[in-house]
Amino acid sequence: MILQALNSYYQRLTEREDSDAAPEGFAPQSVSFALQLDGQGGLLDVLDLRELAAKGKKLVPRKMLVPDLGEAKGSGIKPTYLWGNSGYVLGRDDKSKSKRTADCLKAFRRLHEKLLEYVAAPEAAALLRFLRNPPAHDPHIEEKWADMATANLVFRVGRHYLHEIPALRAVWFAKGQNAEDVDAGICLVTGEHTRIAKLHPFIKGVPGGQTGGAAISAYNQDSFESFGKKKNFNAPVGKTAAFGYVTALNYLLSSPEQRLRLGAATVVCWAERDTPLEDNLLPLLNGREAGTGGAEVDTASAQERAVVLRRLGRGLPVTEAWPGLDPAVRIYVLALKPNAARLSVGFFLQGSAGEFLESIRSHYANLAIERRLDADPEFPSVWQITRAVLGKHKDAKDIQRLGDELIEGILSGHAYPAYLLPMCLQRLRSGDNINSVRTGLIKAMLIRNHAHKEELMSLNTEHPSPAYQLGRLFALLAGVQRKAIGQNINADIRDKYYGSASSTPAVVFPLLLRNAQHHISKAKAGGYDKLIRDVLEHIDNEFPAHLDLQAQGLFALGYYHQRVAKAAKSDDGAMIENTSTAQQQLS
């Protein structure tokens, strides 16, 4: 199903007028220089094709569609058609291995003599003359050799690049059609009787994968074979379909709007037909590109997506929340991870646009919580959630695992990964900030994974859970300490006692309450005294000896809600709690 959906997407790409999808037998490659030839094959100039990088002043190679079967080059001598590095094109590189470079040049020349022998185009004759005696030390080459030594080169005659000339491209297409090492069979992707691909082109752009690319379908060991079938004939895919699905996947992996990277994992999204959700589904989950510092998504688009999410949050149907969007269009989401020489599938989800949007709406509704600061995210991204869960000590494998499973849980509507709750609670016990992202995730876990129905968005002074009330009480005790001693405390009760207070309240709270009387007297904070007594009325006569994980989550919510609840100072300096809708941080 994955290969079929990708191959269909490739057909869509080829039908677009502005599409830059590669035709069969071609692939985008990084090219730095062009050798400008005259009609007799003489070298006129070396053209620098490099472009300024999107950020900074560094020159980077230009992407050009050139003839390429997409197979790994490996360590052997494998010449390419109408392009190559300096070792193949000039018989010279920076490694000083004259024997190998001489062999590379011979192989490159033989390939072109074989393919262009009967081509009447004058550009073909010019190229063959050049290859029979390449001027490896021409002054034009020496001038740019420091950058050319490791770069890919193409050829140009007049104003035309040779790999773009129809007559020379036709030769390459004919070579693919007449390949001798291809058997015929039934393609499992299209159901047609066609040429079966012995090896599939390689997929590039998955972080952590092989430099030259990797396969998603490969039988590269004898133990993978069955019934005498060799290599990919175990699961036959036609050459055209193999090229189609790989080209589509490589296109998605290079598209910032349809790709999301978390650690070593990569998630891509596409649709069966044109829909605005195709470019917006993953940005709805993640406002930043993760792993490289994060490039901000266009502000206007982010604002438009936020408007859609707010409309969905108010209960509007998809057609009203996103005018012009067809909720029935089919959407596909695929997660890939590197795995030695091959790529493994983390998950593959498919469903209608309406179903995916409903899952995202539900996710953000679960996360929604009173924000402590105006700068806190209204719709926390997957990257922000991952960072909040893992804290400062982030490992690529942890990011990959958490990102994969979190995205799958969000889009499928299933439970979040069970380990998120204890990890969040551990972050709080370790002294990390109890911010809106961490607390919102705790709330989401309690709702989705543990079926909590109580109002958890903002402060609820009548919440029935003793654990929630204990969290409120702990926030008040910390507040009165700050009022009595001041903000410049090396280690307040939050730093010293949060872990034990949230797990073994009976051990800690009697001590904290005794100390609180001293703080209340010193600060003359009678308002705090009243609030503490009000909270204690919601707790049984004895403090619980132990709180389980769910109760610890409620403790964190009570603590957070109490801290962000709106507060105002009375005339005598006491802190009077306003239990209406909380909007501001405790001063």
Query: pLDDT tens across 499-557, in order?
Result: 999 999 999 999 998 888 777 777 666 677 888 888 998 887 789 999 999 999 999 99
CA distance 90 to 101: 8
For residue 45, what pLDDT is reported? 95
Q: Which domain holds residue 394?
A: 279-328+352-448
Residues 511 and 430 in one domain: no
Residues 486 and 552 in one domain: yes
Residues 295 and 443 in one domain: yes
Domain boundary among 448, 483, 515: 448
Residue 27 lies in a domain: no
Given a contact cutoff of 8 angstroms between Cβ atoms, the answer to whether 34 and 381 are in contact is: no
Domain boundary among 178, 210, 231: 178
Domain boundary among 134, 155, 178: 178
For residue 35, what pLDDT is reported? 96
Q: Residue 251: left if φ>0, alpha if ψ -120 to 50, beta else—which one?
A: alpha
Residues 414 and 519 in one domain: no
Separation in Å, CA 453 to CA 41, 165, 542: 79, 67, 26
Residues 291 and 408 in one domain: yes
Position with higher pLDDT, 220 vs 492 = 492
Query: pLDDT tens across 257-311, in order?
Result: 898 887 777 899 999 999 999 999 999 987 644 333 344 444 457 888 889 999 9
Residue 373 lies in a domain: yes
Residue 119 lies in a domain: yes
Residues 57 and 87 in one domain: yes
CA distance 570 to 53: 59
CA distance 399 to 243: 31
Residues 370 and 478 in one domain: no
Residues 105 and 66 in one domain: yes
Q: What's the average model confidence in pLDDT over 50-61?
A: 84
- The mean of the pLDDT values for the chain is 84
Residues 62 and 170 in one domain: yes
Residue appearing with tokens 């600061």:
373
Residue 307 lies in a domain: yes
Residues 520 and 423 in one domain: no
For residue 257, which of 284, 236, 230, 239 has the smallest C-alpha distance? 284
Q: For the chain, what is the domain count?
A: 3
Residue 377 lies in a domain: yes
pTM of the model: 0.78
**E strand residue ranges, 289-445:** 330-339, 342-352
Is the pLDDT reported for residue 230 higher than 50? yes
Task: Give residue 236's identity as a one-letter amino acid code.
Answer: P
DSSP run (H or E) holding 527: helix 526-536
Residue 158 lies in a domain: yes
Residues 286 and 391 in one domain: yes
- pLDDT band at residue 394 under the 50/70/90 scheme: low
Residue 229 lies in a domain: no
Given a contact cutoff of 8 angstroms between Cβ atoms, the answer to whether 343 and 336 are in contact is: yes
Residue 487 lies in a domain: yes
Q: What are phi and psi of 81, to 5 degrees?
A: -100, 120
Residues 285 and 432 in one domain: yes
Given a contact cutoff of 8 angstroms between Cβ atoms, the answer to whether 241 and 247 are in contact is: no
